[in-house]
Amino acid sequence: MVLRLEWKKMTMLALTAALILPWAGAGLQKARSEACPADAVLTQECELKLIALTFDDGPRRSTTTELLDGLAQRGVRATFFLIGEQVPGNEDLLRRMDEEGHQIGIHTYDHVMLTGLNAADFSAQVDRTRTVLKNALGHNDFLLRPPYGMVDDGVKRRAGCPIILWSVDPEDWDDKNTDRIVEHVVSRAKDGDIILLHDIYPTSVEAALRIVDALHQKGFYFLTVDELAAQRRLSLKAGSTYLNFYP
């Protein structure tokens, strides 16, 4: 109950900030200007579209660092769902994510399916990771993404925060084919989508940056999950599951 109350309070503060910070107005307006030249005829293709880029299974120093460098060059914020056991020794990467405006979430301690777990085992995966992240960053406003997207009533009841799934999944872990991953995402992306990738594969990092470039050209603007929800005037609720934020 304490976690849910704390999350609700922090979510309301985050929503308020997201709606009044300069980037929320000026940043989106700048993106619209870049997507639509002054002499362009306004069309559906010229309208700015909002999307969330998310990454699972990190951090991994080599690939996550390369990804953060590429996102910084492009002025893009993403959401990272991290594995707790991979945090020790990589705390500087977490602090960099946080300082550069990325959002950080929980992906369990060692990538265990959460469905069917009792309270103690669930806590060992989620609450333990929450504590690791809080110790590294000094705050406690983390989203949850269950491994494999598997959710049951127990997961919803014990989550203590919103549960974030996805609407576009190129299964980049499978063949690790960069061209296919890029084509899959770019051809399917819609306003309000949540894209799932993994920052532990070099092929996925390359694909992610190519996806950003291609979708920028199509008028997409990248936000964190919380930022995208705020733009849709949604207050995320602990224990609720979200796959997208379509208009």
Give the separation between CA 215 and CA 185, rounded to whole angstroms: 9
Q: Is the dihedral of CA 197, 201, 205, 206 positive or negative?
A: negative
**Nearest residue to 130 (alpha-carbon basis) of 68, 181, 84:** 84
Q: Give me the catalytic one of 56, 141, 172, 193.
A: 56
The residues facing 58 across adjacent strands are 82
Active site residue 198: yes
Task: State the Cα–Cα distance between residues 162 and 173, nearest whole angstrom.
Answer: 25
φ, ψ of residue 8 to 5 degrees: the values are: -60, -45
Tell me which of 102, 107, 184, 198 is the catalytic residue. 198
SS3 state of residue 46: helix
| Of 170, 205, 198, 164, the residue nearest 186 (C-alpha) | 170
Q: Is position 56 annotated as part of the catalytic site?
A: yes
Q: In this structure, are residues 66 and 199 in contact, taking their beta carbons and an 8 Å threshold?
A: no
Positive or negative: CA dihedral 209, 242, 226, 216:
positive
- Would you please indicate which residues are annotated as catalytic (active-site) residues? 56, 198
